[in-house]
Amino acid sequence: MVIGCTHLDQNEKSTGMTTEAINIKLDSLRKTIEHHNYLYYVKSKPEISDFEYDSLYKELEELEHQHPHLIVPHSPTQKVGGQVLSEFENFPHSVPMLSLDNTYNEQELTAFHNRVVKLLSHNEITYTVEPKIDGVGISIRYEEGILRRALTRGNGEVGDDVTVNVRTIKSIPSRLHPENPPPIWEARGEIFMSKKDFAKLNEDREANGEHRFANPRNCSAGSLKLLNSAEVAKRPLDAVFYTIGEISGTKILSQKHLLDRLKQYGLKPPAFYRECQSIDEVLAAINELESIRDQFPYELDGAVVKINDFSHQRELGFTAKSPRWAIAYKFEPEKAITTINAVTIQIGRTGTLTPVAELEPVSLSGSTVSRATLHNFEEVARKDIRIGDRVEIEKAGEIIPAVLRSIKDSRDGSEETINQPLNCPVCQEPVAAIDDEVAVRCTNFNCSQQVKERLIHFASRGAMDIETLGEALVELLVDHNFINNPDDIYNFSIEQIEHLKNYEGLGDKSVEKLLLKIEESKSNPPWRLLFGLGIRHVGAKSSKTLLKHFHNIPTLALASKEDLVEIRDIGPVVADSIYEYFRNEKNIAILERLKKSGLNFSDDTKKIQNSLFTNKTCVITGTLETYKRDDLKNKLSDMGANVTGSVSVKTDYLIVGKNAGSKLQKAEKLRVKIIHESELVEMIKCP
């Protein structure tokens, strides 16, 4: 305590301001910046120039830099991220996040209306129509106006805690706007990436030799699950909110009332909203929305129809999976007609040959499309698709659309049949179907394109995360025979390094950065290495599951098929693939060389200690002084506790810091044992 006082006195002396005055200044700057964020992101009516905004932000940044002990998590400066997680914790939703039933035509929508009329016993019903955004479901919880937790949808009952990443999204306020916000306010909506920002991101990735993302939704989902929040902050994520979970201290009467309240609190509601007095008006609103779908900054895949009156919503209730008072009307995927000029063949890391149609450029879903997947050669033959055909293409969420059908009536006899090749177009080795699969594969494991794809996967962000070792550089290194296997990445010769510095676009600094990132990747957790090896059917999730069970790769390598299928989520096909991989001499040799290069093969998970917290369910609330919250969670987990996010009858201990809110009241009501931080310090000391 004495040290703290001395520290504050020194700060006061250096600035000529008391701590109280500094706090007032900081709070004023934060509120001003948040107000302008609200005007810019929610109302789209900025009142100051970018220069004026940047000046305010810089002033706040400098003041916080001078007084780091006064930085708060909800400060606008914290949106740059920086926290690195080992994994995401799971927490139960206070109110389940249910999915909506879908309908695809007017008859089904009318049937929904008739069910509602029957259940409510009257037809005086007002509906709302909003866009169905093709994003990633999110639930954000504010306590006393401060953003405390953000959870993904997960399975609807339990979601991943992505709070540190959501804090980086500029359009999501770290605290609600009113001076007296409700004690609890959970807003639910979608995280998305605008079409414009997504296109720019893909252009930048391509320029850096990285893989393009498939579509905005996948990109948003992947960005939200990055373990480094500083990387998330670089992604142009945005959010729209349209419903609520748990709330207290306020009442919402209708969907219209809710959307107005969301906007008032600084949360962006949907850009399109219509109130409808009849099912005919609902259909008209849906048609209006579909006609302007390309004008929205984000991808839409339909409309959402809801009962406006919340008392009617409560009366209608829920089924096991969805609300009875809402339904999604799905738009048909957009289609276009164009011509196939040629067919190219892509070769994946497992040797799969995928035919791709090179098209006469055509506008589709607001962008120009010049390529479409043909999936596989069996599909080509079944649909009788030929080079020169006029074809119908569909964009159903993917950047590369699919060819639906050929328009045979437009043929003039000059069209060419698309034949399945007998040999790989890259290495000229034979191709074959394996295990009765539809796909055909290049049988040459050393095919240069397979080698490139395997190495690109190994170095990718989701696997070994070797920044700068992207697609373009991998191609360069393979073409010059510098690397052929993952272990080669860790064993560049001095001569190779000197050669690299002479290539266009590289140089001393680029090569030094590459070597640094390669060295850093050696300490990655072993599940990343396992995933990076590219074992068929083994994804990131199953890699984590396997390492959690076996603890290290050598033990996994010795596992029998019977051992493997006993693990949850590891079926016979995956087990066979893993078993065969670790009994291949080439793979064993590569693994041995990787181990000699110093890569991490063992999970360093700590053994759980027996303690007063062993097998106890704990919840943390309030502001802690002795511990950082995440450090305390890890400490309790190491001591055998199960740390959750909400108080229930199953909670053993509520750990309380300063300014504890509704969780303390709930714990007292449920007679949960309450541990104050000072008591906790002593308990942790006990064996």
- CA 340 and chain centroid, separation: 35
128 and 267 in a single domain? The answer is: yes
Q: Does residue 476 sit in the same domain as residue 393?
A: no
Domain membership of residue 182 (yes or no) is yes
CATH number at residue 279: 3.30.470.30
Domain-ending residue, one of 26, 53, 71:
71
Q: Which residue has the higher pLDDT, 237 or 46?
A: 237
Specify the range with the lowest mean pLDDT, choosing from 61-65, 319-323, 609-613: 609-613
How far is the CA of 461 from the CAs of 97, 120, 469, 512, in angstroms? 30, 52, 10, 19
What pLDDT, on the 0 to 100 scale, is given for residue 504? 61
Does residue 367 have a pLDDT over 50? Answer: yes
Give 85's pLDDT tier (boundaries 50, 70, 90). Answer: low
Q: Which of 195-199, 346-350, 391-395, 642-646 comes out lowest in average pLDDT?
A: 642-646
Residues with catalytic annotation? 132
CATH number for the domain that contains residue 533: 1.10.150.20
Residues 54 and 31 in one domain: yes
**Same domain flag for 176 and 297:** yes
The answer to whether residues 107 and 188 belong to one domain is yes
Domain boundary among 330, 362, 391: 330
Domain residues for the domain of 668 are 617-685
* Three-state SS at 364: strand
The answer on 486 and 468 residing in a single domain is: yes
Q: What span, in angstroms and rounded, lies between the C-alpha atoms of 23 and 73? A: 14
The answer to whether residues 543 and 678 belong to one domain is: no
Structure tokens at 79: 């949106």
Q: Is 655 a domain residue?
A: yes
Residue 132 pLDDT more than 60? yes
Least confident of 454-468, 553-567, 629-643: 629-643
- Whether residue 409 lies inside any domain: the answer is yes
At residue 211 the predicted structure's pLDDT band, cuts being 50, 70 and 90, is low
In 105-246, alpha helices (H): 106-120, 163-166, 195-207, 216-224, 229-233
- Of 71, 86, 121, the residue at which a domain comes to its end is 71
Q: pLDDT at position 149, please?
A: 95
- Where does the pLDDT of residue 20 fall: very low under 50, low under 70, confident under 90, or very high at 90 and above? confident
Q: Residues of the chain with pLDDT > 90: what percent? A: 44
Whether residues 299 and 183 share a domain: the answer is yes
Does the residue 36 lie in any domain?
A: yes
CATH of the domain at 354: 2.40.50.140
Question: What mean pLDDT is predicted for residues 329-341?
Answer: 89
Q: What is the pLDDT of residues 407-427, one digit of tens each?
A: 999 999 999 999 999 999 999
Residues 476, 421 share a domain: no
Considering only residues 678 and 262, tell me which one the structure prediction assigns the higher pLDDT: 262
The predicted structure's pLDDT at residue 216: 85
Whether the predicted pLDDT of 130 surpasses 80: yes
Two structure tokens written together for 554: 């050598």
In-domain check, residue 677 = yes
Q: Are 74 and 175 contacting, i.e. CB atoms less than 8 angstroms apart?
A: yes
User: Could you give the count of Cα atoms lying within 13 Å of 507 in the half-sphere of its Cβ?
Assistant: 3
Residue 291 has pLDDT above 60, yes or no: yes
Q: Are residues 154 and 299 in the same domain?
A: yes
Q: Shortest CA distance to 339 belongs to which of 400, 238, 415?
A: 415
What would the DSSP string read from start to end of 620-663?
Answer: EESB-SSS-HHHHHHHHHHTT-EEESS--TT--EEEE-BT--HH
Question: Taking residues 658-671, what's their average pLDDT?
Answer: 83
The tens digit of pLDDT for each residue in 538-591 reads: 988 789 889 888 889 999 999 999 889 888 778 888 999 999 999 999 999 999
Q: Which of 17-26, 77-86, 442-451 has the highest mean pLDDT?
A: 442-451
Tell which wins on pLDDT, 398 or 80: 80
CATH number at residue 666: 3.40.50.10190
- The domain tally of the chain equals 5
- In DSSP terms, which residues pair with 23 in a beta bridge? none
Q: What is the pLDDT of residue 4?
A: 34
358 and 308 fall within a common domain: no
